[in-house]
Amino acid sequence: MLDNVRGKSALMTVLSIFSDKATLKSVHILRYKGEHGREIMNEKWLRNFQGFDKDSNYTPGKSIDTVSGATISSAALIKGIRKWSLLMDSLSAADNQTAG
């Protein structure tokens, strides 16, 4: 899934890779146009999302730490990943119905 997410002051282009069971395998920020908040591109932090699916807890600051210096962008990315997880689950379910 390739999409843009609006952080505090700029768009970021995000690539999210899902398994065939709609589980998140990896997240990559391909482009971040803002001058501030680049901390969100930290690969270690992005790995926290591996294994997430539509049923995961996506609460910023609780189940997932926001990135200091990029709190608003972190929350925006978390919201985007949740949206994509729901979409991928829906597509996976539809695909399973047509295949079965």
Residue matched to tokens 């597509």: 91
92 pLDDT above the threshold of 70: yes
What residues are paired with 3 via a beta bridge?
14
Which class for 82: exposed (0-12), middle (13-18), buried (19 or more C-beta within 10 A)?
A: middle
pLDDT tens profile 36-51: 888 899 999 999 999 9
Please report the pLDDT score of residue 82 as a whole number. Answer: 95
Specify the pLDDT at position 99. Answer: 66
CA atoms of 29 and 50, how far apart (whole Å): 14
pLDDT above 70 (res 100): no
Quick one: which of 18, 10, 14 has its CA closest to 54?
18
pLDDT at 97 over 80: no
Give me the residue spans of the domains in the chain: 2-99
Between 61 and 6, residue with greater pLDDT: 6
